[in-house]
Amino acid sequence: MTQIELRGVQKFFGAVQVIKDLNLKIDDNEFIVLLGQSGCGKTTTLRAIAGLETIDGGDVLIDGKPVQHLKAADRDIAMVFQSFSLYPHMSVYENIAFPLRAMRKSRAEIDG
């Protein structure tokens, strides 16, 4: 069972606070939507969970363990971006296999 929890998360860009004391709990198999106007912190929140953005306060927990000090690659979180980006010099297979190789998956797992 996987659970994501944010406790008092804060994020500043310079003097502008884009996330203020955010508390959120997402349980396993739960589907949520972050809804708000442009620039309100939706993407920044997702990037903070994934480890692509550092937070200035609070905790990000995955399965009850604080992960804000872990690198993005060590959090086992993936994001799908609105404007996807593929490597144009790679085939579809190679684009899909690339991150799996980075995670040190076996050839059998990648081809499976």
The pTM assigned to this predicted structure is 0.72
pLDDT of residue 86: 79
Q: Please report, for the chain, the start and end positions of each structural domain, with discontinuous segments joined by +.
A: 4-74, 80-112
CATH architecture, domain defined by 4-74: 3-Layer(aba) Sandwich (3.40)
101 Cβ contact partners less than 8 Å away, ≥ 6 residues apart: 110
pLDDT of residue 23: 98
Q: Furthest-apart CA pair in the chain: how many Å?
A: 49
Residue spans of the chain under pLDDT 50:
none
Angle (nearest 5°) at CA 11 between 9 and 14: 160
pLDDT of residue 1: 63
pLDDT of residue 75: 87
